């Protein structure tokens, strides 16, 4: 793998790309060396070789602080990631006809959406294995950028929140799948009157996800004393509400069955809660491009069914 010009300067090599990516991901030469399984001196020599190939420094060193990547290194970084991923895909394609898609999703999507589409997907794509992991939005984006996932499905604020919904990296593709309405819910005995002039307790599945961010902004618009508590899972949220403990904000399709059987009820809050959007973000190219697009289409269809039913 090389960039060559008329001056015949030293060529860029795979080890240069791996060193640069490891350094960017870990932050220090010692940690990058451990991540790559090489001696620190070996990594330092690789970085010097990279500087000779670029004819530009890779690191900026300030006394008393860890070295940082130069502008030249930062410009090369997305290309390095792309090249390493392409080489990995090429090796997979060359050695086996069996492909694997590593998919990450937030809890509601991995529980109510993906299980209902994977059986048909596997029937239509028998040579492709799909591995699904569940995590928070921020962690899913980080794993995708680091190459640990091929595709993520996340539920995030439709209009974005300042400083909280960064644009994806240049080497990633992101598209909106469906808008999803959120509803304010309580137990069978919860009433709107209980929300007036009180300090409501709002239960959410996790403390760090995008849903927490949007509910925090929403709650501050009408109650500066609202308490937002993490219940761990949506099942735990429903249990807290069923015994008359506070309110919650969840995607409507998640609680549709419980709204129908009366174990939960919708509550009209003083301020309307915004919608969220399901996004698909992927780094998959080559042989994985078509099956990833197929997965995205199936997720959209499943969401349509859920939203119509709720």
- 195 DSSP assignment: G
Distance CA 140, CA 145 (A): 9
Q: What is the mean pLDDT of residues 30-42?
A: 90
| pLDDT score recorded for residue 124 | 87
pLDDT at 87 over 80: yes
Residues 51, 141, 240: CA angle, nearest 5 degrees? 155
Whole-number mean pLDDT of the chain?
Answer: 84
Confidence tier at 1 by pLDDT (50, 70, 90) = very low
pLDDT at 5 over 50: no
Distances (CA, A) of 208 to 27, 28, 135, 213: 24, 27, 11, 8
End-to-end CA distance of the chain: 53
The encoded tokens of residue 252 equal 């409507």
pLDDT at 139 over 70: yes
The 10 Å Cβ neighbour count of residue 98 is 10
Of 9-13, 21-25, 99-103, 127-131, which gets the smallest average pLDDT?
9-13
Confidence tier at 281 by pLDDT (50, 70, 90) = very high
Distance CA 25, CA 22 (A): 5
pLDDT at 215 over 50: yes
Confidence tier at 77 by pLDDT (50, 70, 90) = very high
| pLDDT score recorded for residue 231 | 82
For residues 288 and 49, which has the higher predicted lDDT (pLDDT)?
Answer: 49
| pLDDT score recorded for residue 97 | 54
Confidence tier at 130 by pLDDT (50, 70, 90) = very high
- 247 DSSP assignment: E
Burial (CB count <10 Å: 0-12, 13-18, 19+), residue 135: buried
Reference 186, options 258, 253, 274, 257; nearest CA is: 258
Reference 156, options 213, 114, 205, 207; nearest CA is: 213
Q: What is the mean pLDDT of residues 245-256?
A: 88
Distance CA 204, CA 212 (A): 7
The conformational region for residue 137 under phi > 0 = left, psi -120 to 50 = alpha, else beta, is alpha
CB 280 within 8 A of CB 161: no
Pairing mode of beta strands 151-157, 99-105: parallel
pLDDT at 163 over 50: no
Residue 47 three-state SS = helix
Residue 92 three-state SS = helix
């Amino acid at each position: 793998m090389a960039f060559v010009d008329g001056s015949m300067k030293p060529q860029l090599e795979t080890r240069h790309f791996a060193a640069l990516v490891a350094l960017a991901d870990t932050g220090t030469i010692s940690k990058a060396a451990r991540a790559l399984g090489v001696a620190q001196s070996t990594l330092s020599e690789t970085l010097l070789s990279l500087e000779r190939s670029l004819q530009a420094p890779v690191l900026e060193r300030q006394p008393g602080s860890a070295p940082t990547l130069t502008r030249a290194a930062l410009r090369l970084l997305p290309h390095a990631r792309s090249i390493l991923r392409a080489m990995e895909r090429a090796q997979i394609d060359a050695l086996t006809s069996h492909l694997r898609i590593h998919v990450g999703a937030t809890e509601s999507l991995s529980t109510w959406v993906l299980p209902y589409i994977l059986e048909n997907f596997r029937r239509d794509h028998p040579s492709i294995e799909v591995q699904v992991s569940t995590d928070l939005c921020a962690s899913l984006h980080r794993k995708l950028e680091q190459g640990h996932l091929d595709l993520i499905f996340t539920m995030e604020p439709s209009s974005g929140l300042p400083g909280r919904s960064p644009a994806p990296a240049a080497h990633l593709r992101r598209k909106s799948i469906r808008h999803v309405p959120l509803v304010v819910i309580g137990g069978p005995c919860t009433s709107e009157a209980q929300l007036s002039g009180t300090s409501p307790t709002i239960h959410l599945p996790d403390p760090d996800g995008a849903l927490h961010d949007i509910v925090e902004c929403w709650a501050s618009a009408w109650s500066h004393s609202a308490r937002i508590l993490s219940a761990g899972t949506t099942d735990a949220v429903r249990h807290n509400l069923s015994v008359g403990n506070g309110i919650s904000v969840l995607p409507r399709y998640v609680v549709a069955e419980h709204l129908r059987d009366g174990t939960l009820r919708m509550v009209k809050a003083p301020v309307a809660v915004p919608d969220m959007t399901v996004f698909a973000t992927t780094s998959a190219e080559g042989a994985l491009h078509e099956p990833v697009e197929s997965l995205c289409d199936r997720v959209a269809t499943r969401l349509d069914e859920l939203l119509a039913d709720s």
